[in-house]
Amino acid sequence: MPDEVVIRAARTGDIRTIREIVRPHADSRVLVSKDAVTYYEALQQFRVAEQGGVVVGCGALHVMWEDLAEIRTLAVRPEAKGHGVGSRLLEALMADARDLGVQRLFCLTFEVDFFTRHGFEAIEGQAVEPEVYAELVRSYDEGVAEFLDLERVKPNTLGNSRMLRTL
């Protein structure tokens, strides 16, 4: 029987491994490539999946607004795919969102079936009120721009689906 998967908060020593897990997905443009400093700055947002002492997956929860957060950088090693690691990570991130008082989760993904199985639905147009949109549009964060469906991010996200889930 394989070792149990443990989901835990990421630590600074995990960043190199997280980048290693993300690299092939970024190279194929499934995930956005980020500089190392970006991962360190977002460390508190990350959880990792560890199996037998080895980090086999990662994911982050990025709060965007009072009731809204984004699931980011959800990735697993190829050998861990299909074993529930991604689902366990997503469930932990959703629990974190609930703990923070977030009521809606956004993701930008090619993995529509995976997120649909977890209660996400594809969205068109805006999912926030005009007043909130006016505040969010001031953000420099690319994820916020993707959520708002701004034209400036279109070349980077062509083919991705914008999905939302209410908790």
Superfamily of domain 5-166: Gcn5-related N-acetyltransferase (GNAT) (3.40.630.30)
% of the chain residues with pLDDT over 90: 60
pLDDT at 156 over 60: no
Q: What is the pLDDT of residue 160?
A: 77
pTM score, whole prediction: 0.84
Collapse the DSSP code of 107 into the 3-class scheme (helix H, G, I; strand E, B; otherwise coil) and give the result: strand
Class of residue 17 by CB neighbours under 10 A (exposed 0-12, middle 13-18, buried 19+): middle
Beta-strand runs (E) in 66-130: 68-76, 104-109, 121-122
Q: What is the pLDDT of residue 132?
A: 62
CA dihedral sign of residues 18, 20, 23, 25: negative
pLDDT at 151 over 60: no
pLDDT at 86 over 60: yes
Average pLDDT, the chain: 86
pLDDT at 26 over 60: yes
Closest CA relative to residue 110, chosen from 20, 47, 25, 10: 25
Q: What is the pLDDT of residue 144?
A: 61
Answer with the residue of higher pLDDT: 115 or 154: 115
Give the integer Cα–Cα distance in Å for 35 and 153.
Answer: 18
Question: Residue range 54-81: average pLDDT?
Answer: 94
Q: What is the pLDDT of residue 115?
A: 96
pLDDT at 55 over 50: yes
% of the chain residues with pLDDT over 70: 78
CA dihedral sign of residues 19, 59, 137, 160: positive
For the residues of 44-92, what is the DSSP string, one character each?
GGEEEEEETTEEEEEEEEEEEETTEEEEEEEEE-GGGTTTTHHHHHHHH
8 A C-beta contact, residue 49 and residue 80:
yes
* Residue 155 banded pLDDT, cuts 50, 70, 90: very low
Please state which of the ranges 23-32, 57-66, 141-150 shows the lowest mean pLDDT: 141-150
